Structure 1
Amino acid sequence: MKTRIEQEFVNNIEKYVSQTGHNLIIKITRESQFEEADAIEMFREMDVKGMIIFPTEKETYNDAVLRLTLDKFPFVLIDRYMENILTYSVTSENEAGTYEAISYLINKGHKNIGLISPIITNTVTHERARGFENAFLKRKTTINKNLWLTLSFNEIAQSKTPKLIRDFLLNKPEMTAVFTMNAELALYTHLAISSLKKEIGRKIELLTFDPLGISGISFIKQDIAECSKKTVELLLEQIEGTYKPKRIYVPVELKISESVEILETIIT
């Protein structure tokens, strides 16, 4: 619930659930698989009719989620899904959106494009990384993965991440553009870029997945309302007795900003 996107998901899901005459009960697991398993067990004991799960960002699947699949209990995974396991899921077109964004930067003349990402552990980060790679591969252009910075979850915090990114950018003088996997990393990268521009006059173009809320930064926009609506529809389908697992992809849109606004923030 710490990002605007997650808040929009909850707001829209609650709206569509209420429209069906049902009530939404929320449990926040804070990226803990233990909390996630406890929440699933708690909801099953409460005899809820179905669940919508925003899975934790881990490399392995939660056994509690797998049990739901085996039991054919009504549930939908939103934003992420389980590869090689047939479940209901709704996610944005992460790969296609990132491909379009990186293609845009390449077409502008950028050759050395950086990537700043959490550790690549789930379907969202895998798909976005694949979209980044394919933009280069389909043009038969060399991709420099030395310009990729992946951060562990305990490294992502306002107190430390901007400095880590600033140091990374300083050590990569050839980089002229950077793509961030989400809005939180975009904010920290924006602070780092602003610092370098103020100190040494270096300009780096920033493009990100999800809006940062600062004018002048291009981004990929997810259709959160449509994702939420599809999720509720798939859950109701199961509650009403149909079980035909499917994976739904919702289109995204690249939003190009023509102006640039720089934060006057110095990272120390």
Structure 2
Amino acid sequence: MEHPLYKQIQNDIRSRIQSGELPSGALVPSEKELAQQYGVSQITSKNALNGLVEEGLLVRYRGRGTFVRELLSSERGHPHQHQPQPSAKKTIAMILPTMKTRIDQQLLDGLERYCSERDYDLLIRITRESPEEEAFAIEHFRERGVDGYIIFPVEQESYNNAILRLTLDRVPLVLVDRFLKEIKTYSVSADNYGGVRTAVSDMLAAGHEHVALLSPEITNTVTDERAKGFEAAFMERGLPIDKTLWCLLDLDTLGKGLGQQEISRFLREKSEVTALFAVNAELARYAFYALRDIWPQAENRPLLAAFDDPDLEGVPYVRQHLDEMCRSAVELLAEQLEGKYDPRREVVPVAWVQTG
């Protein structure tokens, strides 16, 4: 019985990989090229490549193409098992999205210190908020044969397939500040929900019923939990949630440095706002200068509060215990490197810091 056309394409690509014609890391013909070569539609050739990506034979990088997945020596013959060598010194890959903020720097410092205490070698890659660079870094480190990963994922709606594959292959991995909702994995994050709920409850108790929320668009577990904490503070006091007072900035706007301009526009349109809660320090700084421009007299300005210390005088904030997050992340990674596997999420308490 003749195989479907997409199966023929897959079998041919498998044969070319097994023969060495397409070695590890080689660029595979594009959907368009395969469609022309086999006389099929691009939908058929796309389905063929997608199937091989799902099998783990190929990996895709947006804007670069589809490549033969580079397997570690420990994976050959056992593609779904990671077998660290217990006697060797461990090498850990740490992948961070940015180093723009003091929070980023404190996380790097803490993680490096706790890795050093365990005599781990540390390799670091900054992805600059690029999903493509994140995926490339993960595959690059897999080829180098690192023993484990600490990853602070980029800010996007879905997680990289490369992160999902690490989890499914049970490669030692700890996610920092994020977690996977549908798949059990190791992660460490602050109490985003409880921290925002406490802060906003305090603002409401002070008489600020028209509180604006400043947030990036809600695309990941961090922004989702902080938004839910904001809502909970209102619901617990029996107050309506007015989402016209939510200023959600898309990632493209923030990437272009237009955050302060958008917040200024929002505030000029919402004159009823008496307080603002910014879900991160970057937005708090944008809001601080926007408020100062609109209300030159300090006594007339709406109250501003933030998640994380924006290093601005008079701005109360939710403080993360970053050192504890770093310690916990390295301990969870060490557990996996020692051969244990009990994936779970560790939530580290936060503190509401009010200024005088």
Q: Give the TM bin, normalised by the shorter chain.
A: over 0.9
Q: Does 1:214 align with 2:317?
A: no
Q: Residue 139 of structure 1 aligns with which residue?
A: 237
Q: Residue 264 of structure 1 aligns with which residue?
A: none
TM-score, reference length from structure 1: 0.94
Q: Residue 169 of structure 2 aligns with which residue?
A: 71
Q: Hey, what's the Cα distance between the residues in 1 that align with 2:259 and 2:246?
A: 15
1:193 partner SS: helix
Q: Residue 263 of structure 1 aligns with which residue?
A: none
Amino acid at match of 1:149: C
Amino acid at match of 1:103: S
Amino acid at match of 1:190: F
Query: Relative to 1, partners in 2 of residues 1:165 and 1:251: Cα closer, same or farther, differing over 3 Å?
Result: same
1:24 partner SS: strand
Report the more deviating stretch, 92-101 or 153-162.
Answer: 153-162
Q: Hey, what's the Cα distance between the residues in 1 that align with 2:257 and 2:349?
A: 34
Report the more deviating stretch, 111-120 or 135-144.
Answer: 135-144
Query: Relative to 1, partners in 2 of residues 1:200 and 1:157: Cα closer, same or farther, differing over 3 Å?
Result: farther
The count of aligned residue pairs is: 258
Q: CA RMSD, aligned part only?
A: 1.4
Q: Hey, what's the Cα distance between the residues in 2 that align with 1:219 and 1:125?
A: 16
TM-score, reference length from structure 2: 0.71
Q: Hey, what's the Cα distance between the residues in 1 that align with 2:297 and 2:145?
A: 59
8 A Cα contact 2:292 2:298, kept in partner: no
Q: Hey, what's the Cα distance between the residues in 1 that align with 2:267 and 2:286?
A: 12
Q: Residue 153 of structure 1 aligns with which residue?
A: 251
Amino acid at match of 2:267: L
8 A Cα contact 2:151 2:174, kept in partner: yes
Q: Does 1:61 align with 2:159?
A: yes
CA deviation map 1:225-251 (0-9, x unaligned): 000000000000000100010100000
Instruction: Give runs of aligned pairs for residues 162-177 of structure 1, distance below 5 A.
Output: 162-177=260-275
Q: 1:236 aligns with which of 334, 338, 346?
A: 334
Instruction: Give runs of aligned pairs for residues 85-234 of structure 1, distance below 5 A.
Output: 85-156=183-254, 159-198=257-296, 202-234=300-332
Amino acid at match of 2:288: H
Q: Residue 254 of structure 1 aligns with which residue?
A: 352
Q: Hey, what's the Cα distance between the residues in 2 that align with 1:121 and 1:216?
A: 30
Report the more deviating stretch, 23-32 or 12-21.
Answer: 23-32
Shift of residue 255, structure 1, vs aligned partner: 0.2
8 A Cα contact 1:158 1:188, kept in partner: no
Q: Hey, what's the Cα distance between the residues in 2 that align with 1:235 and 1:199?
A: 51
Question: Whose radius of gyration is greater, 1 or 2?
Answer: 2
Q: Hey, what's the Cα distance between the residues in 1 that align with 2:221 and 2:257?
A: 28
Query: Relative to 1, partners in 2 of residues 1:107 and 1:93: Cα closer, same or farther, differing over 3 Å?
Result: same
Amino acid at match of 2:308: D
8 A Cα contact 2:276 2:302, kept in partner: yes
Query: Relative to 1, partners in 2 of residues 1:27 and 1:237: Cα closer, same or farther, differing over 3 Å?
Result: same
Q: Hey, what's the Cα distance between the residues in 2 that align with 1:5 and 1:158?
A: 21
Query: Relative to 1, partners in 2 of residues 1:55 and 1:200: Cα closer, same or farther, differing over 3 Å?
Result: closer
Shift of residue 202, structure 1, vs aligned partner: 3.5
Shift of residue 160, structure 1, vs aligned partner: 2.4
Shift of residue 159, structure 1, vs aligned partner: 4.7
Query: Relative to 1, partners in 2 of residues 1:244 and 1:156: Cα closer, same or farther, differing over 3 Å?
Result: same
CA deviation map 1:94-130 (0-9, x unaligned): 0000000000000000010001110100000000000
Query: Relative to 1, partners in 2 of residues 1:175 and 1:141: Cα closer, same or farther, differing over 3 Å?
Result: same
Query: Relative to 1, partners in 2 of residues 1:135 and 1:31: Cα closer, same or farther, differing over 3 Å?
Result: same
CA deviation map 1:76-109 (0-9, x unaligned): 0000111111000000000000000000000000
2:310 partner SS: coil
Q: Residue 83 of structure 2 aligns with which residue?
A: none
Report the more deviating stretch, 24-33 or 184-193.
Answer: 24-33
8 A Cα contact 2:281 2:310, kept in partner: yes
Amino acid at match of 1:119: E
Higher-RCO chain (CA-CA 8 Å, sequence separation at least 6): 1
1:149 partner SS: strand
Q: Residue 118 of structure 2 aligns with which residue?
A: 20
8 A Cα contact 2:193 2:229, kept in partner: yes
Q: Hey, what's the Cα distance between the residues in 2 that align with 1:21 and 1:201?
A: 53
Q: Hey, what's the Cα distance between the residues in 1 that align with 2:303 and 2:137?
A: 42
Q: Hey, what's the Cα distance between the residues in 2 that align with 1:214 and 1:111?
A: 24
